[in-house]
Amino acid sequence: MAKGKTRKARSNGGGSKDGGDSKGGGGPKSRAESRSGVSGQRQGPADGVYEVDTGTAELISDDDNPTGWLLKLNGVQTSHVDVVDPLRLEFEYMAWMARLIESHWGFDEKLRALHLGGGACSMARYLAAAYGNARQVVVEIDGRLAALVREWFNIPRAPLVRIRVGEAREVTESLTDESRDLIIRDVFSRQYTPVALTTAEFTASARRVLAPGGIYMVNCGDSPDLATAKREMATIGSVFAHTLIIADPPMLKGRRYGNVIIAGSDVPIGNDPRLARDLLGGGVPAQVWEDVRVRQFCTGAKILTDDEGLVQ
């Protein structure tokens, strides 16, 4: 849930305008309430700061999109949701993930997806809309946040989308072999992913859970030196036969902090010419590098392991 690029959103400075509690039971009227004339009853999202299990969640309406909302957790942008159009992904890295998924599976396929890290469930909402036969589990460590997100964003109910409160590694290690087609890891503590979710041992657990032809996809946030991203590339490459990365050119040239999508599979991925064209034509043009180039790029990077206390 690293910081992503999105449209300008409006903050009310925190807290609720009508003096209601910050846990979501009260708070300012949502735009839906204002438009419908309903008073005294919350319907959907409302600007404000809400207490959650891991700190605070701030919900901010998008001035440029009347149906858009930005979610911040402990001050960090984590998700953007369009409550009317779940196919609209404002964070560029999520749009890149969607393009990769679309290049690998047809829309009529019954995907079994596991999302590690929930946030506002933007990717789960996208998959539910784009892949009507998908069955998804979202793992979110913050139970209060999960309840609020369900309340705010009209997420499809189980079995289409099930939100499981728990720690991502523990849940992954508990799952049956070959029980998922797609695993998306988007877990952050502030700007970086917890090390326990980046190691070769954890990556091997993810591979065990994937069915043949499945994809393990991670959102890696990193600084311009790309040291963490290269180590993640090397680690995923040590477990999977085929890898790819997706990022915008300034990020790959070490010019800024940002997001790199890294994916692994037991089959070739990223070789569809349409994927490269779609990525270049997006709001933030990006490049896709296939396996050989990825392995060259991360040559010399040390594989992450469980016996390492922190990313060097």
In the chain, what are the domains?
9-82 (no CATH), 92-297 (3.40.50.150)
pLDDT in tens, the chain (312 residues): 444 444 334 333 333 223 333 333 333 333 333 333 333 344 589 999 999 999 999 999 999 999 999 999 999 999 999 999 999 999 999 999 999 999 999 999 999 999 999 999 999 999 999 999 999 999 999 999 999 999 999 899 999 999 999 999 999 999 999 999 999 999 988 778 999 999 999 999 999 999 999 999 999 999 999 999 999 999 999 999 999 999 999 999 999 899 999 999 999 999 999 999 999 998 899 999 999 999 999 999 999 999 975 443
- Determine the Cα–Cα distance for residues 243 and 52; give it in Å rounded to an integer: 36
> H/E/C letters for each residue in 211-270?
EEEEEEEEEEEECCCCHHHHHHHHHHHHHCCEEEEEECHHHHCCCCCEEEEEEEECCCCC
Cβ(234)–Cβ(301) under 8 Å?
A: yes
Q: SS3 for 108?
A: coil
* Angstrom distance (rounded) from CA 75 to CA 85: 25
Instruction: Report which DSSP code applies to 13.
Output: S
